[in-house]
Amino acid sequence: MNTKLSALVLAVLFVVATLVVTSSGRADSLRCGTKLVEVGDNTGTLMASCGPPSYRVVAHYAGGESWYYDRGSVQFMKKVVTLGGKIIAIEDGAYGVTGPESPRL
């Protein structure tokens, strides 16, 4: 393999690896005003800190729910995955769709 092709392959692999890492959308916490909700907290803490979600999706087959918080069009939405009343994952989504005003988040 020639040197230019090797450099190109390495550059492409670097870009792909970077995109995979940065696009995974994983997060460990959600800040709502001055309150911080983390993986392991219960849904009562989530509701008290962040209020009701913009919408919920129930996974009947697994007994869990995904709570979505639309934080406005200039911030990423947050997906909070719950199972058995506990937060098991917090992920970043796409940009929100509502206006920039968001009273609790």
Higher pLDDT: 55 or 6? It is 55
* pLDDT value at residue 6: 53
Distance CA 41, CA 72 (A): 24
Task: State pLDDT tens for residues 34-67.
Answer: 999 999 999 999 999 999 999 999 987 788 999 9
Domain ranges of the chain: 25-105
Q: What's the order of all strands across the beta sheet hosting 26-27? A: 26-27, 86-95, 76-83, 64-69, 55-59
Q: At 17, phi and psi to the nearest 5?
A: -60, -40
Distance CA 2, CA 88 (A): 48
Task: Provide the CATH number for the domain formed by 25-105 in this structure.
Answer: 3.30.1450
User: Which range is least confidently modeled, 11-15, 29-33, 63-67?
Assistant: 11-15
